[in-house]
Structure 1
Amino acid sequence: MNPALRLPAAAVRTAGAISPHAGAAVAMPFFAHVAKPRPVHADDAPTMSLARRRRVRIPGIGRRGVDVVVYEWGSGPRTVVLSHGWLGRASQFSALVRELVAEGYRVVSFDGPAHGDSDGRHMYLVDWLDVFAELQQRHGRFDAIVGHSFGGLAALVGVAGGVDAARVVTISTLADADELLRQFQRRLGLSDAVTARLRERFAARYFAGDPDPFAWLSAVRRPLPAEMPLLALHDEGDRYVSFGESERVVSANPGARLVPTLGLGHNRILAADGVLDAVVEFVTADAAHVARAPLPGASAPAGHRGARVAQVAGSRA
């Protein structure tokens, strides 16, 4: 367990022994809390130094307003948005930024609330959706959204909910918001009863009046519009988000392609040459053929693990 979670976990379990409601009340402040932001990796700093930076104001999880830092590279009418994951930051996409700018795209990314250089200490998926809305207002239709991990789920939920994008790429994505809750349960060792009460408390506080917000915060229960091109990449040995999450997403979106990798884990995958090649080819492909065009390392349908034809490897840590 992360040392920072030991004390909260003990407090939640102690309260949970009294009652599931008490345990959920103690756990609630920690569920959407974000630890200290990761620093910019030295390899990513030169690319970040070239970005045009600005701040945008979004409501934030508490709906009291929070400033988010947005980064932009390149120019022109074609825009690709890059959406980082939990405990991530925009700089993790530096290798992909360079590839897409070289292809003539305007590339836009951001540090979500409580991440990178943005303000705040708490966040949730709706914050990513608010950022997408701000970026859409400024740039119009996106040629693509590329999302990593939690940011991949946000991209899927956003496009399913009306964000105007020509195609979606997910890398190491989660399939639904319930998986976030399951991960939190495992990290803190919560009982099923406490977790169920936490789910109810969270929904009531941040989605008042919505009988089941987790239904639409799901790429499985609420798939992308028909014919929407989707490329999903995921490492089979990912220790943070199970490969099965991307299999669930692809199963719910019949036109999607799944590209498995080996040995890249959850974060190194973002800078692997083969992954970059697959993403760039997918994003730059003609829209009329993107769903059918052969991709480097395209896999067999979900479930046919023995039919793997991609073993993308090689990247810096």
Structure 2
Amino acid sequence: MNPALSLSSAVVRTAGAISPRLGAAAAMPFFGHVARPRPVTADDSPTMSLARRRTIGIPGIDRRGADVVVYEWGRGPRTVVLAHGWIGRASQFSALVRELVAEGYRVVAFDAPAHGGSPGRHSYLADWLDIFAELQTRHGAFDAIIGHSFGGLATLVGVAGGVDAARVVTISALADADEVLREFQLMLGHSDAVSARLRERFAARYFAGDPDPFAWLSAVRRPLPPDMPLLIAHDEGDRLVPFGEALRIASANPGAALLPTAGFGHNRILAADVVLDAVVDFVTADASDVARTPAPTPESALPAPTPAPAPSEVLVP
């Protein structure tokens, strides 16, 4: 565990030993805090240099306003939106951007608040939803939304809530926001009682008047419309978001196409040829030709959970 994380864990656990509510109060500043943005890689830099770049405004997690950097490639009549994950950035989609632009699409990606080139220190799923709404105002209905990891969960929640998209792709996605809380608890090592109070505190602060926002921040309890084409790509060896999350999403969305991979992990899957080919085929197919799979594996038959990652690798706010 790195020193900063070790100190944060000690503070929360010490406060939690006195009182779960005190522990939750100590944990709250760390929940939603975004680590320093990852740099743009040399492989991704040429694609990013070709993007048309602008800044949009959204309410932000505290509703005080936040700036979001948006990138756009291509000028086709059909728009595909790409949503990165936690501590991710738009540049991670560079390989997919090139593929989709070659197919004639307008491709739009963004850096969520406190991610990539966007300023800030905190962010949460509601920011992704506000970005979708702002982009929808500018571009109209999306031909597809493609979300990775935390952005995959945001994509599922957004479309279930009314974002107008013709089809959805998730890559390495979480199934619900409860998983975020579980991983955050794993990272800091606090008790179940502290986690329960943190859940209440977070809901009261950011979703006032909603008794259980986690009920709709879920691709399991709030699935997509039954006729929505959905492709789920996930690596069986993903150490950050276990493969079982893909099966949970599939179980809640009968008819979804499930693409398991092996050997790519959580992030390299974004540039894997098998995934790029499948995503492009899925996005470009006529609606009547989109592949549908048999009923997914029920949760009672899910494989054993993937071993937990080291605390420094946990992908949570």
TM surpasses 0.5: yes
Distance 1:205 1:305 in 2: 35
Aligned partner of residue 53 in structure 1, secondary structure: strand
Distance 1:16 1:268 in 2: 37
Taking structure 1 as the reference length, the TM-score comes to 0.93
The percent identity for this pair of structures is 79
Alignment-mate amino acid for residue 29 of structure 1: P
Aligned partner of 2:308 in structure 1 is: none
Aligned partner of 1:193 in structure 2 is: 193
5+ unaligned residues in a row in structure 1: which ranges?
293-297, 307-317
Contact 2:251 2:295 in 1 (8 A): no
CA deviations over 1:4-53 (Å, ceiling 9, x no partner):
31111000000001010000000000000001000001100000000000
Aligned partner of 1:81 in structure 2 is: 81
Aligned partner of 1:276 in structure 2 is: 276
Alignment-mate amino acid for residue 89 of structure 2: R
CA deviations over 1:145-188 (Å, ceiling 9, x no partner):
00000000000000000000000000000000010010000000
Contact 1:159 1:224 in 2 (8 A): yes
Distance 2:276 2:231 in 1: 12
Aligned partner of residue 120 in structure 2, secondary structure: coil
Contact 2:255 2:295 in 1 (8 A): no
Contact 1:260 1:299 in 2 (8 A): no
1:206 matches 2:201 = no
Contact 1:259 1:299 in 2 (8 A): no
Contact 1:28 1:202 in 2 (8 A): yes
1:301 matches 2:304 = no
Aligned partner of 2:261 in structure 1 is: 261
Contact 2:254 2:296 in 1 (8 A): no
Aligned partner of residue 101 in structure 2, secondary structure: helix
1:228 matches 2:228 = yes
Work out which structure has the larger RCO, using CA pairs closer than 8 Å and 6 or more positions apart in sequence. 2
1:16 matches 2:11 = no
Contact 1:15 1:23 in 2 (8 A): yes
Distance 2:120 2:277 in 1: 35
Taking structure 2 as the reference length, the TM-score comes to 0.93
User: Which residues in structure 2 correspond to 1:1-317 (within 5 Å)?
Assistant: 1-292=1-292, 301-302=296-297
Q: Which runs of 4+ in 1 moved over 2 A?
A: 1-4, 298-306
Distance 2:291 2:81 in 1: 20
Aligned partner of residue 42 in structure 2, secondary structure: coil
Contact 1:258 1:299 in 2 (8 A): no
The alignment covers a number of residue pairs equal to 301
| Alpha-carbon spacing, 1:263–1:17, altered in 2? closer, same or farther (3 Å) | same
| Alpha-carbon spacing, 1:235–1:25, altered in 2? closer, same or farther (3 Å) | same
